[in-house]
Amino acid sequence: MPDTRVPGAATASASVPAHRDANVLRWVAAYTASMLGDTVFFLALSWAAVRSGTPAQAGIVTAVSAVPRALLMLGGGVVADRLGPRRVVIGSDVVRCVTVLTVAAVLFVADPGLWLLVLLAVVFGTVDAVFMPAVGALPARITAKDQLARVQGMRGLAVRFAAVVGAPLGGLGVAVGGSAAAFALAGLLIAVSVPLLVSVRVRELPADDTAAGTTAWRDLAAGLRYIRRHRVLGPLMVTIALGDLGFVGPLNVGLTLLADERGWGASGMGWVLAGFGVGAGTAALLLTVRGRLPRAGCVAAGALVPGAAAIGFLPHAPGLAVAVGIAVAVGLLTGLSGAVCGALLQTRSDPAYLGRVTAVAGIVSLGVAPLSMPLSAAAVGAWGTGPVFAASAAVCALGGLVALCAPGVRRAELPA
């Protein structure tokens, strides 16, 4: 499929804020539809796995997709940079759509068991390994540099919308027609993104920015070397890694155990998670509306440190209402830090390397950070929630300190 490129497309959109740019809005709509499909897909996969096997087997099925995603994402970044992110995103969504709809059709007429679900999870994870870096590299090709922070905020709003709306949609699909109907709904939602993506205009890279005559391995090594030597991207990756390591465990497994320990129940845990979502959504909305925050590097680091302190205080909340308020603060501060970090990755990276830069950030968030979940659960069992949340908060705060101690990050600004 040809990669529609329009020289100067990003420059032409510079006079129009991203949230009013039809080209950007088409991309955001496509991304939102794709994320909705993802949310419905994983709910359908979990439901089908539980119905077809034991809880342990269901857990394995839902975790299988993470393996190829983590192992292949660096290569996916090279593919996105070599072929162009628009082409890769369109191809990925087509493959995901066809695969999910095929499985839905099979489930409508037969019950093949867990093997089909495992195969589906592996295919989905493999495609995600190229889809995610390409999604991260595409905004730099569709808008001007001074609008990338605003696009990052819009992307965050799309993720929050998909999380809030996707789960009820998936549940409705399961209620109406079981797993097959939910998979069909997921496939149709992903399919909506394809024509929207086809209509998105992208700009060409300067000729001297594109790799020529090199192997994929050399491209990968060049990307890693580029990140390591960059005075902003290198320390920023460490900040993102420490922030995610300190955040993922407590706000997933740790929160479940905390709700059980404090007697809040599932509904109480839901309120705390909703508080976090409200805070993170507010941070994304702030970046969308303002488009630029002064002293962005300091904001990213400065918001992470008090956000980490709020994580550490969460187990000591005197009641559920206070815990929800703390969760709002955690979501707002860590969400603001994460959004600004993402905006800095977008604006400080050479567009020719953005696929590989996004891939490394994705490996950190999706490959390394989830390892903290079983460790957090085991640590809570041994020492309780208070010490574990405190340790996680210290790791998260360390990420902010790394950013503050790195002159390149501390002085980093978003384009005006």
Total domains, the chain: 2
Q: What is the pLDDT of residue 102?
A: 93
Residue type, 26: R
Q: What is the CATH number of the domain that holds 186?
A: 1.20.1250.20
pLDDT tens-digit profile of 228-244? 999 999 999 999 989 88
102 and 28 in a single domain? The answer is yes
pLDDT tens-digit profile of 166-210? 888 888 888 888 889 999 999 999 999 999 999 999 887 655 444
Q: Does 90 have pLDDT greater than 90?
A: yes
Listing DSSP states for 25-57 in one string gives: HHHHHHHHHHHHHHHHHHHHHHHHHHHHS-HHH
For residues 254 and 265, what is the distance between their CA atoms, to the nearest angstrom?
14
Asked if residue 1 belongs to a domain, the reply is no
Asked if residue 3 belongs to a domain, the reply is no
Answer with the one of 185, 207, 229 that is the final residue of a domain.
207
202 and 263 in a single domain? The answer is no
Mean pLDDT of 276-288: 91
Answer with the one of 161, 184, 207 that is the final residue of a domain.
207
172 and 226 in a single domain? The answer is no
For residues 195 and 141, what is the distance between their CA atoms, to the nearest angstrom?
18
Answer with the one of 207, 241, 270 that is the final residue of a domain.
207
Which residue segment(s) compose the domain that 365 sits in?
217-410
Most confident of 53-67, 227-241, 360-374: 227-241
Q: What is the pLDDT of residue 370?
A: 67
- How many Cβ atoms sit within 10 Å of the Cβ of residue 185? 26
- Phi, psi for residue 5 in degrees, rounded to 5: -120, 135
167 and 221 in a single domain? The answer is no
53 and 166 in a single domain? The answer is yes
Mean pLDDT of 60-70: 79
Would you tell me the crossing angle of helices 385-405 and 255-262 to the nearest 10 degrees? 140
Asked if residue 203 belongs to a domain, the reply is yes
45 and 88 in a single domain? The answer is yes
Asked if residue 87 belongs to a domain, the reply is yes
Mean pLDDT of 364-393: 80
Q: What is the pTM of this model?
A: 0.85
Listing DSSP states for 50-100 in one string gives: HHHS-HHHHHHHHHHTHHHHHHHHHHHHHHHHHH-HHHHHHHHHHHHHHHH
230 and 303 in a single domain? The answer is yes
Q: Does 4 have pLDDT greater than 70?
A: no
Buried b (16+ CB within 10 A) or exposed e, 379-401: bbeeeebbebbbbbbebbbbbbe
CA within 13 Å, CB half, 50: 9
247 and 347 in a single domain? The answer is yes
Tokens of 19: 């949230």
295 and 269 in a single domain? The answer is yes
Number of residues written out for the chain: 416
Asked if residue 415 belongs to a domain, the reply is no
372 and 249 in a single domain? The answer is yes
pLDDT tens-digit profile of 305-345? 999 999 999 999 999 999 999 999 999 999 999 989 988 99
160 and 227 in a single domain? The answer is no
273 and 223 in a single domain? The answer is yes
Asked if residue 222 belongs to a domain, the reply is yes
The answer to whether 58 and 227 are in contact (CB under 8 A) is no
Mean pLDDT of 385-389: 89
Asked if residue 402 belongs to a domain, the reply is yes
Asked if residue 248 belongs to a domain, the reply is yes
For residues 1 and 93, what is the distance between their CA atoms, to the nearest angstrom?
13
